[in-house]
A and B are shown apart, each in its own frame.
Chain A
């Protein structure tokens, strides 16, 4: 009798076990950063599960640990992520070290054309080596560094009158970095609604990539180039050009004159906090945060306006955003590819935009009503037309850390001159490229 019961229990358990194994087999994990667009993607992915029966699991890591966590995962050939929305700078390493699956054959087979996506995003998020049609990701989340300002403050007659008297022009969204600094100086220390406010929240973070992203938004506007000849790694005269020196000095002067006290290690969240709490008149941040700002109870609606990164000598913006890749160490690459196929669909891309994600699909971006679909959509298009990215070399992290150190030492710590900081960056980068066999 006992033996019989044991057999039945065993049979039930084995059936249950095999069902759960099957269920687990039909589940894939998507890894990304923990932020608003990730929540939108989780919402969007419910449609994929409904259509395909494949369950989605999400591994979202805060930005501060994002690179550490997932680059370690890739380097250790971990199987945690089947799909990874990795930073644009990872594409070189992802392709070179075999972390990402090359998608060309899959795209050809499924009729997915990269011509359907904005060229800047394809180049930045998908290709390696740059300029070649070797695709390791599908453009997933277009992004660039933009600006937000307190439209309600800018609209106050007494403030407008005072600004016009002081600067001889109307107060509005700055068109150049010089104008931006003037506006920031104007608001710095001003009392608004009984509260002391400050000019601008800019990126100054030391640990990951913050200050580099902030400073490059100024450098690019001054026409910064990483090399004199693309692909030659000849940086002398480019990285430390007079324009680059001027841009870096300008960024430091903006930090010195117009940021809130204690804004010495600030990145995305710190800028959002400073802005939403009514501390600053302007903030720099990624377009990805703009849907959240537009909906925010304190500063949303008509209270906030948006503008593209101001030009100085040229119009250019720092690239953000990511492509979605299939991790080559995944045991479920076929399921992950099904997700990519589904995600590339124009209808899915349209819904992605409506949920707060930044589609890179031409069908979405080129739609006649797109520029007016949100208060920041037109600026997003402008930004994406002139984006520039940091090095995407396999050793990008090493290059980035050198820049973080040198720039933070100059801008925040006030050590040395802008020229010395840029010279030291060239020295560090040269050593890195030599170690990597590129020089």
Chain B
């Protein structure tokens, strides 16, 4: 009995010290590198950005004294009608891409789920756009949209003789040009998640519905849709956040033009931060965007949890 008790004057090894730690201390030991990393690359930049948003700092003038300007940057932003225009362009882009991608993606998933001959081949073909780089997609769609030589104008004119169709240069068409490209590129993603949802529905539910003489619509609305909904909502969440900060594809396709018609928030943010070098002002804009996305995502996640229940 006495031999199991270590003598107080005997030095403990490192291993001994570790084993002597409490469970809570060991847990902290394991997660502390991650927390430190998180603090360094996420939390600190966020706090620093919040600080900069209240200053007149310009990153290209390191010698200039940083002056505290209070809420001036926020006041300027919220009072600037152009900013509301960029947010409106972003909202238009996000809402329409989500709507189209959900409808088409879900439809494609239902088709592929029928397991027809060659289904796996077509699944692969449908997935190809999403494997491409958005910047590359933006560049080659400028050629597709070219009014004189592009295939898009040719196809439209094949069905309706409207003449050279200037998708990128027209104020009315340019917002749709980016919506079409994003839908082409990312519908497969929605389809993939919907397909996962469809494959997770047990057959016995449909068999039971058959016995109850449910028609196809009833089966869709009472079995398929509720079961796929959590997957669909998750896909919309991911794509919604991505599209809210969409940058590369739009820059390559329209540069935010004509004028500022397709200047989504992230393009303006980049211009303010790294072309005009208004770091304080752009930090304030970044915080506003962050709060918007964070707030909307939280509301959405709560809704998602309700659907799951």
Q: Report which A residues bind B (CB closer than 8 A).
A: 67-68, 71-72, 75, 93, 97-98, 205-207, 260-265, 394-395, 397-398, 401, 405, 408-410, 412-415, 435
Contacts and interface: CB of A to CB of B under 8 A. Distances in A.
15 contacts: A72-B274, A93-B60, A98-B63, A206-B256, A206-B259, A265-B169, A265-B255, A265-B257, A394-B61, A397-B275, A398-B276, A401-B271, A405-B260, A405-B263, A409-B259
Contact of B275 (A206, A401, A409): A401
Contacts of A71: 60
Closest 9 CB pairs of A and B: A264-B169, A413-B259, A409-B259, A207-B255, A206-B257, A398-B276, A262-B147, A261-B164, A261-B147
Contacts of B261: 413
A396 to B, nearest CB: 10
B56 interface: yes
B274 A207 contact: no
Contacts of A93: 60
A262 B164 contact: yes
A409 B171 CA distance: 10
Contacts of B56: 435
A412 B148 contact: no
Contacts of B276: 395, 397-398, 401
Interface string B151-186: 000000000000010101101000000000000000
Interface string B224-268: 000000000000000000000000000100111111110100000
Given A75-B59, A206-B256, A414 B251 contact: no
Contacts of A412: 169, 257-259
B146 to A, nearest CB: 6
Interface string B82-97: 1000000000000000
Contacts of B82: 405
A205 B61 CA distance: 28
Given A97-B60, A261-B147, A401-B271, A413 B257 contact: yes
B181 to A, nearest CB: 15
Q: How large is the interface on B (under 10, 10 to 19, 20 to 34, 35 or more residues)?
A: 20 to 34
Contacts of A72: 274
Given A401-B275, A413-B258, A262 B63 contact: no
A264 B164 contact: no
Chain B CB within 10 Å, residue with most, of A67, A261, A264, A415? A264
A contacts with B: majority SS: loop
A397 B272 CA distance: 10
Nearest to A431: B76
A261 B166 contact: yes
B278 interface: yes
B300 interface: no
Given A67-B275, A263-B169, 4 more contacts: A68-B275, A262-B146, A265-B257, A397-B276
A232 B60 CA distance: 24
B206 interface: no
A398 B277 contact: yes
Contacts of B63: 97-98
Nearest to B276: A398
Contacts of B148: 260-262
Contacts of A261: 147-148, 164, 166
B146 A206 contact: no
B251 A207 contact: yes
B255 A206 contact: yes
Nearest to B61: A97
A77 to B, nearest CB: 8
A296 to B, nearest CB: 20
A264 B146 CA distance: 11
B57 to A, nearest CB: 11
A435 B57 CA distance: 10
A397 B61 CA distance: 13
A311 to B, nearest CB: 29
Contacts of A415: 171, 259
Chain B CB within 10 Å, residue with most, of A93, A97, A98, A413? A413
Interface string B212-233: 0000000000000000000000
Contacts of A262: 145-148, 164, 166, 168-169
A195 to B, nearest CB: 11
Nearest to A64: B255
A405 B259 contact: yes
Given A75-B59, A412-B169, A415-B171, A264 B278 contact: no
Nearest to B255: A207
A221 to B, nearest CB: 24
Chain A CB within 10 Å, residue with most, of B63, B263, B276? B276
A33 to B, nearest CB: 17
Nearest to B56: A435
Given A75-B60, A97-B61, A97-B63, A264 B166 contact: yes
Contacts of A207: 251, 255-256
A22 B16 CA distance: 54
A71 B277 CA distance: 11
A408 B258 contact: yes
B72 to A, nearest CB: 10
A95 to B, nearest CB: 13
Interface string B45-75: 0000000000010011101000000000000
A176 to B, nearest CB: 27
A395 B56 CA distance: 14
A98 B62 CA distance: 11
A397 B59 CA distance: 13
A206 B60 CA distance: 23
Contacts of A394: 61
B69 to A, nearest CB: 10
Contacts of B255: 205-207, 265
B164 to A, nearest CB: 4
Contacts of B145: 262
Nearest to A424: B82
A251 to B, nearest CB: 14
A398 B166 CA distance: 30
A67 to B, nearest CB: 8
Nearest to A437: B64
A397 B275 CA distance: 6
B260 A409 contact: yes
Contact of B171 (A206, A265, A414): A414
Contacts of A410: 259
A314 to B, nearest CB: 29
A408 B60 contact: no
